Amino acid sequence: MGRLQKFMLHIMAWLFLITLFTFVATAGFESSKGVYILFIGLSLLNIAVFYLNLYFLIPLTLDKRKFFFWMLGCLTIVVTFLAIKYGFSFYIYKISGLRMVTNTKEMSFSEPERLLISTFVTNGFFIFLSTVYKFTIDWFFNEREKTELERQRLTAELAFLKSQINPHFLFNSLNNIYSLAYQKSEATPDAILKLSEIMRYMLYESNDNRVALEKEITYLKSFIELQKLRFKGNAHVVLEVEGQIQNQQIVPLILISFVENAFKHGLATDKKHPIIINISVFEDNMLFTIKNKKNQQNKDQTGGIGMVNVVRRLDLTYPDKYKLSVENHEHEYLSELYLNL
């Protein structure tokens, strides 16, 4: 909220309160100039008390944990405004000749006891009101600042986690292409071309917080094709997609680590036990399942970066909206990821 908007909001609020206060306080009095001058004047004094405490007293005392000095300042304000009210009342009744008259008798608010009580009550109320207002506003802005800082921290962490995916994937893919090149495989140019398409998606098309599920599935298909080139067409993968995937959004690169692990730890060359990937979409939910036979001779000695990364990203982007199950059976791995898209 800008300063002008804030100023206008305060003006409207005070106009409403002054009107309400004057209407209620003058109920039962005969209409006279003295009635309105007195109560409007008192309202302006109360507004002054509100802002003195808000912008002067609290910043100098309470914000610095000087409670005693704040109490002393409040007492000084009350005594000062008691003197001002007395002078104002004296002017109303003694000099101007204005009177406040009820339907039965003339009222005199210059009586010491009445003036003392009314001053302490009204000034105390507006001091309390401005104190509550100040700490409410401070709490609101502190909470908003905390929320913004937390959002920035999470955004930075997500960006860092996402930046880890590219080098991790590139490291593995280049190793695979190196193996093809070393063997002088005719599939090497196609593998390089497929890798360039995948990297284009990872670097340019997956920068948003969410991408179309269709694009993510296309990316998985490209990755699978790249792996098949590595295995010279001898990799057996079944990819099944069920349900309406159109118009569905997903966090980018969240599924690739599961597929990478299937090729890394699985036995993709076993035709009888292919890697089976199933993506089922129902309403706004998705169930991703991947199953692969174990390859006991292919262990990832550096491992864990991809899966640790994906679990942390799931925690940040789908809090309380995902369920992950990874089952390590004797002869196969089975992973299931349920997402509320």
* DSSP class per residue in 4-38: HHHHHHHHHHHHHHHHHHHHHHTTTBPP-HHHHHH
Least Cα distance to 220 among 319, 150, 286, 156 occurs for 286
Please compute the mean of the pLDDT values over residues 312-338 and round it to a whole number.
Answer: 91
pTM beyond 0.85: no
Q: What is the pLDDT of residues 230-243, one digit of tens each?
A: 787 788 999 999 99
Whether residues 240 and 334 share a domain: the answer is yes
- Across 173-205, b (16+ Cβ under 10 Å) vs e yields beebbeebeeeebebbeebbebbeebeebbeee
Whether residues 109 and 197 share a domain: the answer is no
Please compute the mean of the pLDDT values over residues 146-158 and round it to a whole number.
Answer: 78
Residues spanned by the domain of 42? 3-146
pLDDT of 105: 46
Whether residues 13 and 77 share a domain: the answer is yes
* Weakest mean pLDDT among 64-78, 269-283, 324-338: 64-78
Higher pLDDT: 304 or 271? It is 271
Higher pLDDT: 270 or 279? It is 279
Q: Which residues pair with 275 in a beta bridge?
A: 237
Q: Does residue 164 fall inside a structural domain? A: no
Q: Does residue 322 fall inside a structural domain? A: yes
Q: Does residue 170 fall inside a structural domain? A: no
DSSP-derived 3-state class of residue 233: coil
* Weakest mean pLDDT among 57-66, 277-286, 303-312: 303-312
Q: What is the tally of structural domains in the chain?
A: 2
Q: What is the CATH number of the domain that holds 255?
A: 3.30.565.10
Whether residues 114 and 201 share a domain: the answer is no
Whether residues 137 and 16 share a domain: the answer is yes
The DSSP secondary-structure symbol of 319 reads T
Task: Decide if pLDDT at 59 tops 90.
Answer: no
Whether residues 8 and 116 share a domain: the answer is yes
Task: Decide if pLDDT at 300 tops 60.
Answer: no
Task: Decide if pLDDT at 277 tops 90.
Answer: yes
* DSSP class per residue in 103-122: SSSEE-TT-HHHHHHHHHHH
Q: What is the pLDDT of residues 188-212, one digit of tens each?
A: 888 888 888 888 888 787 778 899 9
Q: Does residue 171 fall inside a structural domain? A: no
